[in-house]
Structure 1
Amino acid sequence: MGEFKPLVFSGVQPTGNLHLGNYLGAIRKFVALQENNDCIYCVVDLHALTAQLVHEDMQTQIRSITAAFLAAGIDPQKHIVFNQSQVPQHAELAWIFNCVARIGWMNRMTQFKDKAGKDREQASLGLYAYPSLMAADILVYRATHVPVGEDQKQHLELARDIAMKFNLDFHDKIVPTGLGVDIKVGEEPVDAYFPMVEPLIDGPAPRVMSLKDGTKKMSKSDPSDLSRINLMDDQDAISKKIRKAKTDPDALPSEVDGLKGRPEADNLVGIFAALADKPKADVLAEFGGQQFSVFKPALIDLAVEVLAPMNTEMRKLMEDPGHIDAVLRDGGARARARAETTMNEVRDIIGFVR
């Protein structure tokens, strides 16, 4: 038997341009996770429908996310890169999970409340059931680990609750696989089918804020393109946006505590630290006491050094959509094979005729 490797699953929605926050908070970590894990990375285009039903450029967005994965260094041959809609088993398992999950559980999901806003009656059923599909995305591959940010922790807990309830409801029909976890019915330990997926939290994720307002997260939906550094931005665009980034009149402090109450300064120092892969304290040890007129050019040079090679590769990939589509088809075929193994077993557990 080969050495067991954790199975990591994660996905990115194809909505809007990927920006620096997406890279530092997610994609860069995806690349690092390849080293010791079996990884499945998905462009979650079914989820994109919950944000907006009609997309004029869905295919371009799917290819753009894929190009970012590849340009950042994800290996689609050693691991799996695909778009969600190529694997119908995601939707099939999501329906089963809709029947496992309880309304009370879904009502506690704070992201629905945030995204639906005040007029929840007009929100789509898809947006409400989004966490159930996310659970299916993970568990259709029996994934063991998921890299998550703060905003997705609650959804991962829901995935664990759904897995546990399925395991308990069907405990007498589950054939031992050795991949599940022991659970108890009363005092008796029984085999479980779905694993209790664990969050992967690799230290505090850099919280990248808007270049125009240090109190708001950098966002694809912000109407001002100057608020974010897009991964497709060239050297001139990166330079312009950092030069125009909001700051305050004071010099940079020498200690991290000095950034309190200075959100824009804190954001730019945080971006420098993340790009340089060093603590903020080290950045301030170098630039403390300096004005932003000195710090910003250094940040521009660093951002261009880190992002320009990926930007060049992304542009090259986007000029060859046939290659991107081939990567997605190959990944989709391999993902379907894995997902169908799970669904055949789930159908048998439930008692469907096939």
Structure 2
Amino acid sequence: MAQFPELVFSGVQPTGNLHLGNYLGALKRFVEMQATHSCLYCVVDLHAMTMPHDPEQLRQNTRAVTAAFLACGIDAKKNIVFNQSRVSEHAELAWALDCVARLGWLNRMTQFKEKAGKDRENASVGLYNYPVLMAADILVYRATHVPVGDDQKQHLELARDIAQKFNNDFDASIAAHGHGDAFFPLPEPLIQGPATRVMSLRDGTKKMSKSDPSEYAHIALTDDADTIVQKIRKAKTDAEPLPGEVGGLAGRPEADNLVGIFAALGDETKADVLSRFAGSQFSGFKNALADLTVAKLGPIRAEIIRLNGDDAYVDSVLAEGAEKARAIARPNMDAVKDVLGLIR
């Protein structure tokens, strides 16, 4: 298999106010990765159209997610920060990959079944087909790595299957055009560190989500200090004190979640946290967790608010990023056309 230069593609949907789970599960890792990898950070606005949406809200959400990227520490000068719809090669490659992907592969995608619900006949074609666009998002840059949560592993496997089938189906043409034995890499997942999956503060068995009916289930990155303290104090726990070892968290989802959040915010392990708080009641632990959360999120909140008041700057970051992204995507798309036999 051909060797590809290491490149990371990360996509985040513009779905409004980001929360602590987005920060610990994605944004914090994005900031860490930029020190060791070449990265593209994309606000995937085309994906937000698979469900009914308000156009003005989509515009504002796209800017809000970009502001959160920058506020959390992503450097737009060292990396590529852009919104997907500005780079038409994403959609262009998606059609080519539609003609490679198989219907049976898409029929196995569990997220479509969950989002479409029982009334699947009324779901949009885009909702059914968006895993192919997701594959195009990655492959148009010939990216080698993608940070993914558990809920996106299946989509990355699909991207690998599509890449492999393209490489196999057009192997002679790929070789004839000087691309060796493979045109696309098979992208690998990047999964690192504690708290990759942050759970609800009201139910430790459910993922943290801003769509939860209880406003106390998540901490938004724009919550002020008093709100954060109140939400953590009201977080669901059990009656037992904190254990001294990680094994003692088994069967205690709420305790495990709060310890995991503390560990991820403090850049330490759950074992480190438990060695310090072993035998403590949750009231004292929650106070310490609230203090840590406010200290970590306070500067991010202030910068998000500042950037949310400067649309012109945020738009300029996206425009500059799209230009840099297009400089990679266009030659790759031209090469795909050559391989497929399309005259350009």
* Cα pair distance change 1:238/1:61, threshold 3 Å: same
Given that 2:63 and 2:315 are in contact with CA atoms closer than 8 Å, whether structure 1 keeps it comes out as: yes
2:321 corresponds in structure 1 to 331
- Using structure 1 for the length normalisation, give the TM-score: 0.92
Cα separation, 2, equivalents of 1:46 and 1:353 = 27
Greater CA deviation, 41-50 or 107-116?
107-116
Give the counterpart of 2:311 among 318, 321, 328. 321
Matched AA of 2:165? K
Describe how 1:216-255 pairs up with structure 2 within 5 A: 216-255=206-245
Matched AA of 1:270? G
Cα separation, 2, equivalents of 1:78 and 1:287 = 39
Given that 1:176 and 1:191 are in contact with CA atoms closer than 8 Å, whether structure 2 keeps it comes out as: no
1:183 corresponds in structure 2 to none
2:199 corresponds in structure 1 to 209
1:67 corresponds in structure 2 to 67
Q: Tell me, what secondary structure is at the counterpart of 2:48?
A: helix
* Cα pair distance change 1:43/1:177, threshold 3 Å: farther
Describe how 1:164-183 pairs up with structure 2 within 5 A: 164-175=164-175
Q: CA deviation digits over 1:10-31, x for unaligned, max 9? A: 1000013111111111111111
Given that 2:194 and 2:263 are in contact with CA atoms closer than 8 Å, whether structure 1 keeps it comes out as: no
Q: Tell me, what secondary structure is at the counterpart of 1:126?
A: helix
Cα separation, 1, equivalents of 2:188 and 2:257 = 30
Given that 1:206 and 1:270 are in contact with CA atoms closer than 8 Å, whether structure 2 keeps it comes out as: no
Give the C-alpha shift of residue 177 in structure 1: 7.9
Give the C-alpha shift of residue 283 in structure 1: 1.3
Given that 1:247 and 1:264 are in contact with CA atoms closer than 8 Å, whether structure 2 keeps it comes out as: yes
Given that 2:149 and 2:197 are in contact with CA atoms closer than 8 Å, whether structure 1 keeps it comes out as: no
Q: Tell me, what secondary structure is at the counterpart of 1:211?
A: coil
Any unmatched runs of 5+ in structure 2?
Answer: none
Cα separation, 1, equivalents of 2:5 and 2:33 = 11
Matched AA of 2:19? H
Any unmatched runs of 5+ in structure 1?
Answer: 181-189
Given that 1:12 and 1:43 are in contact with CA atoms closer than 8 Å, whether structure 2 keeps it comes out as: yes
1:186 corresponds in structure 2 to none
Matched AA of 2:307? L
Given that 2:5 and 2:144 are in contact with CA atoms closer than 8 Å, whether structure 1 keeps it comes out as: no
Given that 1:145 and 1:199 are in contact with CA atoms closer than 8 Å, whether structure 2 keeps it comes out as: yes
Given that 1:83 and 1:332 are in contact with CA atoms closer than 8 Å, whether structure 2 keeps it comes out as: yes
- Using structure 2 for the length normalisation, give the TM-score: 0.94
Give the C-alpha shift of residue 214 in structure 1: 1.4
Given that 2:198 and 2:207 are in contact with CA atoms closer than 8 Å, whether structure 1 keeps it comes out as: yes
Given that 1:31 and 1:72 are in contact with CA atoms closer than 8 Å, whether structure 2 keeps it comes out as: yes
Q: Tell me, what secondary structure is at the counterpart of 2:334?
A: helix
1:304 corresponds in structure 2 to 294
Matched AA of 1:148? V
Cα separation, 2, equivalents of 1:218 and 1:127 = 22
Give the C-alpha shift of residue 325 in structure 1: 0.4
Cα separation, 1, equivalents of 2:333 and 2:283 = 58
Give the C-alpha shift of residue 261 in structure 1: 2.5
Given that 1:149 and 1:205 are in contact with CA atoms closer than 8 Å, whether structure 2 keeps it comes out as: no
2:46 corresponds in structure 1 to 46
Q: Tell me, what secondary structure is at the counterpart of 1:225?
A: coil
Q: Tell me, what secondary structure is at the counterpart of 1:11?
A: strand
Cα separation, 1, equivalents of 2:317 and 2:231 = 33
Q: Tell me, what secondary structure is at the counterpart of 2:330?
A: helix
Matched AA of 2:253? P
Q: What count of residue pairs does the alignment treat as equivalent?
A: 341
Q: Are residues 1:274 and 2:264 paired?
A: yes
Describe how 1:90-239 pairs up with structure 2 within 5 A: 90-175=90-175, 191-203=181-193, 205-239=195-229
Given that 2:246 and 2:270 are in contact with CA atoms closer than 8 Å, whether structure 1 keeps it comes out as: yes
Greater CA deviation, 157-166 or 199-208?
199-208
When the two chains are superposed, the root-mean-square deviation of aligned CA atoms in Å is 1.7
* Cα pair distance change 1:204/1:294, threshold 3 Å: closer
Give the C-alpha shift of residue 175 in structure 1: 4.7
* Cα pair distance change 1:270/1:177, threshold 3 Å: farther
Cα separation, 2, equivalents of 1:63 and 1:254 = 44
* Cα pair distance change 1:149/1:314, threshold 3 Å: same
Cα separation, 1, equivalents of 2:329 and 2:124 = 27
Cα separation, 1, equivalents of 2:285 and 2:262 = 9
Give the C-alpha shift of residue 264 in structure 1: 1.6
Runs of 4 or more above 4 Å deviation? 175-178
Give the C-alpha shift of residue 249 in structure 1: 2.7
Give the counterpart of 2:255 among 243, 265, 269. 265
Give the C-alpha shift of residue 56 in structure 1: 4.4
Q: CA deviation digits over 1:195-238, x for unaligned, max 9? A: 11111222454321111111111012213221101111121211
